[in-house]
Structure 1
Amino acid sequence: MNKPQKLAAVQRVLALDTSTTSLSVAIMENGKVLHEINEFGERNHSIRILSIVEEVLKASSTLNTDVQGIAVGIGPGSYTGTRIAVTAAKTLAWAWNVPVVGISTLHSLAYGGFIHAINAQEDKVGSGQINWIIPLIDARRGQVYTALFSSSESSAPYRLEQDAIRLMETWIEELVHRIEATFEQKKPHSIWFVGDVNLHKETAERLRIRLGDALHIVSYDLEGRYVGVLGTEKFHTGEQDDMHSLVPNYTQLAEAEANLLRKP
């Protein structure tokens, strides 16, 4: 990752993510949303993304020359979907001559899901309490794209476990062991499963025996603003990715490739 000179304090950042069923696009200024569109329909992402970008720019009175950086969700998630945003971001970054930075889709999902959850359930979140946030994106066959983050405030969660594809059953047991091995003062006050939770709610509920009301399972669809906030933070520290070597984080083979490898 390159470490160029920091961008100016006032900046506009275009944020994109197509790794999930949500086609998420936002234009940010200093981490604040100027305009945002989150459209659902995974099969239409490739057709709609450029027109959505144009619509967001127009609605925020933003010219191409006003954009000073592009933040893009690099997955993991949909194999095809993830490539769409990354390709669009690299193309626009090259055309507009602006830096680009890749953002973990799971980090954005954890951030947005936690903020969404605590806004709806403020009485369950105390100041300074340790919260573990587990974002989920369904990966079929009992698998999820997931990671583990922690937050004690409403700022961006920090990472405890890397993005990966995991069996949900195994992941629950790993979380149980981690909780049991954590010093009492560092144990989470609450655990929040956020994101694509519906197919995995029953498995996640197994933690209820150990956690009781400290367990929260919240359905949440990714919003582009959180890709933008995380991207803005990286730009402010002088981070950016090489436009040509930036690639999606697939974490697994495409189904067609996996099927091909299974053939004798």
Structure 2
Amino acid sequence: MTILAIDTSNYTLGVALVEENQVLGEYMTNLKKNHSIRVMPAIQTLMRDCDRVPADLTKVVVAKGPGSYTGVRIGVTIAKTLAWTLKIPLVGVSSLEILASGTGRYFDGYVSPLFDARRGQVYTGLYQYKNGELLTVEQDQLIMLVDWAQYLTKMDRPILFVGNDLSIHQQKIAEILGSKGVFAALTEHNPRPSVLALLGQNQTEEDVHSFVPNYIRLAEAEAKWLEAKGKILKGQD
């Protein structure tokens, strides 16, 4: 099995090739640059360097969000196109789960990956490793950081926080959780595309045509459009 993993859900752009539980190659950057321009050349370079062609691929795994609306759409669109064209399975994995899996395996507690969602909000969830398996303790959600930290004070074990946006909220987390809040090392904040590939290798495949990203919330423009539409329809009653 040769898996291509694609993650453009946040600033980190990552692609990986994993074959029979071996990481053949991995490309990753954390730059505020246009993923739509860079992701396909990254895939092509990686496959060429690993001496693989599209026909060798047997599965595509993509980070399905939450994260940047544009970034998530880019990765999902490319993954769907490749899966449909090559007639191979497509799997979507939570962008937060990738972070949790990459850091939590050897941590004796819970893992809370997070992405900043502005206005004091974060995308986050709660995960824990048990017997070598990553379990979801709390589903991915959009929540005020202060409310989330207050909720975590009742947990019976320390919580490891990870993510490139952690610096925005670290002080507040430390104030609320004290020593119960643990912060991942600098080198652990980028989600690894090879981890994404391994997470998706045994997951149930998606229907290529109906698969959509998990934004958790609507884009602001879409929410305003629906609100305006609702007002218009209400006025017609």
**TM bucket normalised to smaller:** 0.7 to 0.9
Give the alignment partner of residue 70 of structure 1, picking from 38, 60, 77.
60
The percentage of counterpart residues that share the same residue type is 37
Residue 253 (structure 1) aligns with: 218
User: In structure 2, the residue corresponding to 1:25 is in which secondary structure?
Assistant: strand
Quick check: 1:167 aligned with 2:167?
A: no
In the TM superposition, residue 88 of structure 1 has moved relative to its aligned partner by 0.1
Give the alignment partner of residue 205 of structure 1, picking from 174, 177, 191.
174
Instruction: Give distance in 1, aligned partners of 2:38 and 2:216.
Output: 25
In the TM superposition, residue 259 of structure 1 has moved relative to its aligned partner by 4.7
Letter in 1 for 2:26: E
Quick check: 1:233 aligned with 2:202?
A: yes
User: In structure 1, the residue corresponding to 2:198 is in which secondary structure?
Assistant: helix
Quick check: 1:58 aligned with 2:48?
A: yes
Give the alignment partner of residue 98 of structure 1, picking from 83, 88, 91.
88
TM-score (norm. length: structure 1)? 0.79
Instruction: Give distance in 2, aligned partners of 1:136 and 1:113.
Output: 13
Write out per-residue CA displacement over residues 193-233 of structure 1, whole angstroms, 9 at most, x where no aligned residue: 01120101012103443xx2x53112501111111010113
Aligned length: 225
Instruction: Give distance in 1, aligned partners of 2:22 and 2:161.
Output: 26
TM-score (norm. length: structure 2)? 0.88
Instruction: Give distance in 1, aligned partners of 2:161 and 2:15.
Output: 24
Instruction: Give distance in 2, aligned partners of 1:144 and 1:167.
Output: 6
Instruction: Give distance in 1, aligned partners of 2:38 and 2:173.
Output: 34
Does the CA-based 8 Å contact 2:96-2:140 persist in structure 1? yes
Does the CA-based 8 Å contact 2:153-2:177 persist in structure 1? no
Q: Which has the higher contact order (CA 8 A, sep 6+)?
A: 1
Write out per-residue CA displacement over residues 52-73 of structure 1, whole angstroms, 9 at most, x where no aligned residue: 1111111111111111000000
Instruction: Give distance in 2, aligned partners of 1:95 and 1:42.
Output: 30
Residue 88 (structure 1) aligns with: 78
Backbone CA RMSD of aligned residues: 1.9
Q: Give structure 2 stretches of 5+ with no counterpart.
A: 232-237
Q: Give structure 1 stretches of 5+ with no counterpart.
A: 1-10, 119-124, 180-186
Instruction: Give distance in 1, aligned partners of 2:175 and 2:31.
Output: 31
Map 1:132-171 → 2, pairs under 5 A: 132-152=110-130, 155-171=132-148
Does the CA-based 8 Å contact 1:30-1:232 persist in structure 2? no
Does the CA-based 8 Å contact 2:90-2:205 persist in structure 1? yes
Does the CA-based 8 Å contact 2:123-2:140 persist in structure 1? yes
Instruction: Give distance in 2, aligned partners of 1:42 and 1:222.
Output: 15
